[in-house]
Structure 1
């Protein structure tokens, strides 16, 4: 080989090497689409995603290095779910991560191969998303925040804090997958607590105040706010209406009590988001979503708001105060 040909060969290989290296680096970066029901500006949504990102980093995934997180916010309606998932399907992502029922339903319809990890669903088996808790099958797995039997716990706490209650209005968006089952279960168990059950199914924000006002016209009313992205998004309106009408209320998430709700009891979703990062990690490293069992929340917090109790003329029993994880003075 002539000297100048050898130099050309070496020079060409040297020029090609950085391109190949960059190509290998790009292909090594994993992409996760995160579909959130809350708005990007919502403090609760930011807290959940901070827990997810921090846990992923501890597991060895660093943004702009070996993982790319693509966010889709306000995925809180069937239309928005279909639109967001359609956009995701046009990209090459390795995992879909969501806490939006609308997004999960749309993703299930759109793909049977792309791995999906969910957080904050009540009964993914009954809702038809997975085959079983132990072996979900297919391409979906995740972390459930509560079970429908939590209804009895909420009613029991409400009776303890507001013993004069004779009827309970329970609030949820009628499009939520759990609405019919919660409706049935609460109607069945409420009489055992001495309550008449009053379903308040909502379709729009404008119906919140009307539904709560109508309940306040009946004697002995109280509210049970069910787990639902719609309720979390509109929590300020719900809390304000309940307080304005003088209705005791129990909420499913800590954020409600911290923002003025009387009492909350439910799974710690910020903690659950952190836990769910472990499934994203395992799938990115080769595990199949359908072989990872559905996990249930194990950390539940009871939070009481003394200021709201005082405004409603309620005295919180010492037995309830002693069991509270947090008391807001």
Structure 2
């Protein structure tokens, strides 16, 4: 079922935006599609929009107006702005709509949106460019076969998930722990991959790992009770839109039973996760997506010749308020690894170095930005040798 807020926004767009928005040849029309306004997605969104302003596509007034998520008929660009509100069927509607409007480029945030957009345009004779951000599993979801073996109209950036650094934190917090649990949504590829990695890594550490399934918010209570019934001493989440949306519910349940909640998205600490650890450079991922978009719109690159970017970062954050509610004392060893903590509702620096200012990239002059772009794009060039090597690896894996 299409959610009412999305339907209303689409109807308003049809009423308020002239039918010819995508027909103005003097300026490009960019469709901006995202799955939901979670903290990581919001950071990536800000990175994209701030960069579009820095490149001169958006004026300061236009950038400020976009904070309200309306479509824009701008001086230098038209934007079609859509958010599915965690409703997967609505993503199909969004993609169909912007294709009907003739978007020149589609910027997608999260795996679900990118996968649907790529599949919808794969067989088109003249597809719009698709630039994706925050796609954690581009290869297992069919978006691409390898970084340089992909549809010619597709490029993007992949945040690498550091499960090998994330899962062992449970033993740093509690060296005597015996069993952990995780929640898997079978309809979410990132969740399935994450639960598999958590299971493999947990078992390699000598832990028993229990998995419970959940496909909607109402399932979370049953999933947690199932895990607790099997004796788990901590819940370790994977990347999953459902558990991200349901973090407050999970925090309440774990507080009732006195076990910690681990989350792989560092921003989840603000929503109450006891320990959140993982990739944190979401703003930068938006900057990278905008960099690829600008290079495409300015004619500097052919997306077919650009590899999918990979980004790495890892940070640890601890919510001491949640730990107190759960009756848990955070170990000194884990506190020593924290980049920041939440205490009395406020962020404070941890023992490890803070994560810095994500907006620093916006302090560059345009000349500095363009020079950095050229260096960045040169490192992503798909040479014939790289393509041949990747194809040979794929052939060997199939054989």
TM-score by length of 1: 0.83
Aligned mate of 1:199, from 199, 204, 211: 211
Match of 1:211 in 2: 223
Match of 1:255 in 2: 267
Aligned mate of 2:44, from 42, 48, 57: 48
Residues 55 and 262 of structure 1, relative CA distance in 2, 3 Å threshold: same
Q: What aligned pairs does 1:174-323 form with structure 2 within 5 A after superposition?
A: 174-268=186-280, 269-286=282-299, 287-323=301-337
Query: Displacement, 1:157?
Result: 0.9
Higher relative contact order (CA 8 A, sep 6+): 1
Cα distance in 1 for partners of 2:292, 2:114 equals 16
Residues 306 and 274 of structure 1, relative CA distance in 2, 3 Å threshold: same
- 1:168-196, Cα deviation, whole Å (9 max, x unpaired): 22223221123443343333332222211
Query: Displacement, 1:43?
Result: 5.8
Match of 2:18 in 1: none
Is the 8 Å Cα contact of residues 75 and 102 (structure 1) preserved in structure 2?
A: no
Cα distance in 1 for partners of 2:132, 2:50 equals 18
Match of 1:142 in 2: 156
Match of 2:95 in 1: 85
TM-score by length of 2: 0.69
Is the 8 Å Cα contact of residues 179 and 209 (structure 2) preserved in structure 1?
A: yes
Match of 1:60 in 2: 56
Match of 2:184 in 1: 172
Cα distance in 2 for partners of 1:202, 1:322 equals 34
Gaps of 5+ in 2: 1-20, 63-73, 344-399
Residues 188 and 254 of structure 1, relative CA distance in 2, 3 Å threshold: closer
Gaps of 5+ in 1: 1-22
Greater CA deviation, 179-188 or 299-308? Answer: 179-188
Aligned mate of 1:97, from 107, 125, 144: 107
Q: In the alignment, does 2:146 pair up with 1:132? A: yes
Is the 8 Å Cα contact of residues 173 and 333 (structure 2) preserved in structure 1?
A: no
Is the 8 Å Cα contact of residues 135 and 158 (structure 2) preserved in structure 1?
A: yes
Look at both structures and tell me which one has the larger radius of gyration over its CA atoms. 1
Please state whether the residue corresponding to 1:198 is helix, strand or coil: strand
Please state whether the residue corresponding to 1:221 is helix, strand or coil: coil
RMSD between aligned alpha carbons?
Answer: 2.4
Please state whether the residue corresponding to 1:270 is helix, strand or coil: helix
| Superposed structure 1 runs of 4+ greater than 4 Å apart | 42-45
Residues 292 and 242 of structure 1, relative CA distance in 2, 3 Å threshold: farther
Aligned residues: 302
